[in-house]
Amino acid sequence: MGDFLDATAAGTGSNSYATVAEAVAIMRANPYSTNWDAAAAVPDAEDYVVDDALAALLVDDVSIVFKSGSGDWAAGAVFTLAGDETEYTVATWTAATLTATFTPGLVAVPADGAAVTRLTGSAREVALKYATTLLDQYMNWKGDKYDADQSLRWPRYNVYDPDGWAYDEELIPELLKTATCYFAELLLGSDRTAEPALFGQGLKKAKVGPISIEVDGNMPGAVEVVPQSIRVLLEPLGSMSSIASKGGSRVVSIRRA
């Protein structure tokens, strides 16, 4: 199984609450989607097969021509060929001729129409998966999992919207899809899970004896992994876990020797 996105509701291998196509539609309504718009949408190549007419001529080269498929490859994308367990890495992609240069060279002549399986996801896919993972880790969701074998914590049952209607226990709520996409946009801009060093958490200077501390007046508030804007959006579905919500402040104890 590749590391690209799977948004199947209640799937055993699902890793995102929204597909890239759903995210594209959702982000069109967001006027502040700069990070999403700039993120690479490729590789999103699907259903590519080898062009047998040219494959035999390219065994010793580092390029290959495909005769069908949708979406584009990008430098760094990793794929395998049917019947060949070697992982090939794309160096360049020419959409006009469906030609990819890659390494290593072909191990063997692929069969006519040999299927291509991509093993890497796009930046957008990675962001959506990461947002989903963080939400499942940091949120206390209401209700109960729909299926014990599902890989993600949604879909769920016994969860109700603000008007008292139950969310469909077999589907991912549209609200959660939207929140996941908005969160992915923020994650594309910065690593919200990174912890700054001690100097950078409110301390500018420190001295041992005589004890002296200087507070950094320019230090902004601690960055919350799941921002308030996302938490408010998700209030009908759950709340921040008590452990995660304690991460926004730090107490420093000082004693004389």
Write the pLDDT tens digit of every residue in 33-48: 999 988 866 556 788 9
- Within this chain, do residues 144 and 242 fall inside the same structural domain, yes or no? yes
Q: Residues 115-161: pLDDT tens digits? A: 988 887 778 888 999 999 999 999 999 999 999 999 999 999 999 99
The parent domain of residue 67 ranges over 49-118
- Within this chain, do residues 233 and 160 fall inside the same structural domain, yes or no? yes
In a domain, 44, yes or no: no
Report the CATH number that the domain containing residue 80 is assigned in CATH.
Answer: 2.40.30
Max CA pair span of the chain:
81
In a domain, 157, yes or no: yes
For 92-131, the DSSP string reads EEETTTTEEEEES--SSPPPTT-BEEE----HHHHHHHHH
- Within this chain, do residues 107 and 181 fall inside the same structural domain, yes or no? no
Residues in contact with 224: Cβ distance below 8 Å, sequence separation at least 6, in sequence order: 192, 247, 248
In a domain, 144, yes or no: yes
Domain stops at, among 118, 136, 164: 118
- Within this chain, do residues 113 and 143 fall inside the same structural domain, yes or no? no
In a domain, 195, yes or no: yes
- Within this chain, do residues 114 and 139 fall inside the same structural domain, yes or no? no
- Within this chain, do residues 31 and 154 fall inside the same structural domain, yes or no? yes
Joined together, the tokens standing for residue 206 give 């420190």
What are the two backbone dihedrals, phi and then psi, of residue 86, each rounded to the nearest 5 degrees? -65, 140
Q: Give the chain's domain count.
A: 2
- Within this chain, do residues 136 and 209 fall inside the same structural domain, yes or no? yes
- Within this chain, do residues 91 and 132 fall inside the same structural domain, yes or no? no
- Within this chain, do residues 128 and 220 fall inside the same structural domain, yes or no? yes
- Within this chain, do residues 160 and 184 fall inside the same structural domain, yes or no? yes
In a domain, 3, yes or no: no
- Within this chain, do residues 67 and 142 fall inside the same structural domain, yes or no? no
User: So what's the pLDDT on residue 78?
Assistant: 85
Domain stops at, among 99, 118, 137: 118
In a domain, 72, yes or no: yes
Q: Residues 164-214: pLDDT tens digits? A: 999 999 999 999 999 999 999 999 998 888 755 444 455 555 555 555 555
